[in-house]
């Protein structure tokens, strides 16, 4: 069985249960969402989110004029975790399964967007 030290460090004891993952950045915070394969009726969470702050670094953009800029870098730990997840998930899915996952994520995004739009419309109607 393969070893996944970064996932173990995050508290994931059964990486073989991981079905897929996504990584998004929001306000200089990387949000890693891990989705687990669960059977109907199981009480364990079907997904879990982990948040990792980005390191703030000052870099010189123009040495002649001493101009600097702030850059936010992804954590080396997040890179290790995503490498482990990529290897783990890649071996599990056929092309058809990957397409089903993408369609599922798209449906989830559509549902969240429609819910948010409906909420904003109720706020607008209250102001009229």
Question: pLDDT tens digits for 49-78?
Answer: 999 999 888 888 877 787 888 888 898 999
Residues 78, 102 share a domain: no
Residues 78, 49 share a domain: yes
Question: pLDDT tens digits for 9-35?
Answer: 999 888 888 888 989 988 889 999 998
Residues 34, 17 share a domain: yes
**CB contact set of 88 (below 8 Å; sequence gap of 6+):** 2, 4, 7, 15, 18
Query: How far are the Cα atoms of 35, 55, 110 from residue 46, in angstroms, in the given order?
Result: 6, 30, 19
- HSE of 12, CA atoms in CB hemisphere, 13 A: 24
Token reading at 87: 């290897």
Token reading at 88: 């783990």
Interatomic CA distance for residues 101 and 54, integer angstroms: 28
Residues 77, 99 share a domain: no
Region 82-99: mean pLDDT is 81
Enclosing domain of residue 106:
94-128
pTM across the whole model: 0.64
Q: Are 60 and 76 in contact (CB under 8 A)?
A: no
pLDDT band at residue 1 using 50, 70 and 90 as cut-offs:
low
**CB contact set of 73 (below 8 Å; sequence gap of 6+):** 54, 55, 57
**In the prediction, which pLDDT does 115 show?**
93
């Amino acid at each position: 069985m393969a070893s996944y030290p970064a996932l173990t460090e995050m508290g994931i004891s059964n990486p073989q249960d991981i079905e897929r993952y996504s990584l998004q950045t929001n306000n200089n915070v990387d949000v890693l969402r891990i989705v687990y394969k669960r059977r109907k009726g199981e009480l364990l969470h079907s997904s879990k989110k982990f948040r990792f702050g980005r390191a703030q670094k000052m870099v010189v953009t123009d040495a002649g004029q001493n101009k600097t800029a702030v850059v936010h870098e992804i954590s080396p730990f997040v890179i290790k975790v995503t490498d482990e997840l990529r290897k783990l998930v890649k071996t599990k899915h056929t092309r058809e399964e990957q397409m089903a996952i993408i369609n599922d994520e798209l449906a989830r995004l559509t549902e969240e967007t429609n819910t948010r739009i409906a909420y904003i419309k109720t706020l607008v109607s209250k102001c009229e």
